[in-house]
Structure 1
């Protein structure tokens, strides 16, 4: 089974990409990348996962948007359940500039037989896609009291928060079930300039997306929350892991 994480650029900015594979009872990191054009992202996916191979693709973007205005149900539910962690998500509707891009990306995945999976039979092989959201996933997977604020603020503070995220990934992911073997592909230096820091942020978000895909496939609803459904749009979030 293969697990693809896509931190999709909602407009024309680059997207963070991650490829994990289930090998001998654990996840191995095979690729971290960043690409801008949707065509290049889809080509990368097609190279990672051959036709008919089982895989689940987790996308940090609203690929299902049924509403013309306002917010989707899953968007509202993130604020209800995760607002206290500062982890409510951006509202999505069909009239916003990014909507065509994110919806069409989901349709491109459907054309490749990746079916939406707001419900799943744990560890059943197939080709699936889900929507995910890194902020609440990070809060729950690493048992935090608030999000890591690596996206906004002063560069120096963002860098410190990104270092925290990388340390959690290095120290905690290998101890979870499923466990992750990060390997030599995982970079260790967190950049000090803005553009390079953003590129690293995108890749780490892609890794979180890919891990949530694996966590959803491995555990299903036993250890995950699903906000919304196929009709309203949905977001899959790991449940909080208690020590």
Structure 2
């Protein structure tokens, strides 16, 4: 049994972070669990009471790995996180940021610039927390249980064989489609989400069943919860590609962002 934990990590503790767990028992990758926050991922195992509005919290690497490993019956092999991570404290742009921006900038998928405050200490604590329980940060040739950094925008470009970044962020729909009425913008957004879900479902069984598309009348926090869950599954898919040998690392000895290769 192989397993990957994908985390769409918020850059501040005030915002929720999506979590997705996938596993392969030899018959292909399958979605085991997806949640729109750490609390939801951890709480479901205890009470089964759904969380309607997700809140941010500090990540507890030990608790997350214990629950995830319990769900698949064996220790998680790889943790893939969408957050800047580095062997040393981050103070600004890294070689990995510059390499991704050079490769994908013309396709509107440059990285955000990290700093000492965002994600700052949160990134350090996350990396150290996973390292302390046996998941060191891998910047090349991952061996054994590892932690990796991923970035959904270039991953989705490769997944969809797209010319540019996919317009799938709910907070940016007015920029994506400025000439379209607000209600129609939401319809377009949900169409893009549907395409992404279908592409992921073709590679990870159970994604379409777990990620029910919201309606255009859904509240903003419901849209955000879906988006965070979707991003977490994308993170997990990138981790699966790393385990399958179909992803490349861009960076140096301090940091690396892993991106699936075309056709993965």
Under TM normalisation by the shorter chain, which class is it? 0.7 to 0.9
2:189 aligned with 1:189 = no
Return closer, same or farther for 1:46/1:130 CA change in 2, 3 Å cut-off. Answer: same
Give the C-alpha shift of residue 91 in structure 1: 1.2
More strand by share: 1
Which residue number corresponds to residue 209 of structure 1?
A: 235
Which residue number corresponds to residue 17 of structure 2?
A: 15
Within 5 Å, give how 1:87-236 maps onto structure 2. Answer: 87-93=109-115, 95-120=116-141, 126-151=144-169, 152-154=172-174, 156=183, 157=185, 160-170=188-198, 172-175=199-202, 179-182=203-206, 186-191=210-215, 192-219=218-245, 223-231=246-254, 233-236=255-258
Q: Distance in 2 between matches of 1:68 and 1:48?
A: 28
8 Å CA contact 1:148, 1:162 repeated in 2: no
Give the C-alpha shift of residue 197 in structure 1: 0.6
Q: Distance in 1 between matches of 2:201 and 2:230?
A: 15
SS at match of 1:98: coil
Give the C-alpha shift of residue 153 in structure 1: 2.9
Task: Work out which of the residue numbers 74, 78, 90 in structure 2 matches 1:56.
Answer: 78
Q: Which has the larger radius of gyration?
A: 2
Task: Work out which of the residue numbers 76, 79, 84 in structure 1 matches 2:98.
Answer: 76
Which residue number corresponds to residue 2 of structure 1?
A: 3
Q: Could you state the TM-score of these two structures normalised by the residue count of structure 1?
A: 0.84
SS at match of 1:204: helix
Q: Distance in 1 between matches of 2:196 and 2:22?
A: 17
Deviates more, 1:154-163 or 1:108-117: 154-163
Give the C-alpha shift of residue 103 in structure 1: 1.6
Task: Work out which of the residue numbers 26, 29, 34 in structure 2 matches 1:27.
Answer: 29
Aligned residue pairs total: 230
8 Å CA contact 1:162, 1:201 repeated in 2: no
Give the C-alpha shift of residue 229 in structure 1: 2.8
Q: Could you state the TM-score of these two structures normalised by the residue count of structure 2?
A: 0.78
Provide Cα deviations, 1:173-196, integer angstroms capped at 9, x if missing partner.
354xxx311167513222432111
8 Å CA contact 1:132, 1:209 repeated in 2: yes
Q: Distance in 1 between matches of 2:135 and 2:89?
A: 23
Return closer, same or farther for 1:158/1:105 CA change in 2, 3 Å cut-off. Answer: farther
Give the C-alpha shift of residue 65 in structure 1: 6.3
Give the C-alpha shift of residue 109 in structure 1: 0.6
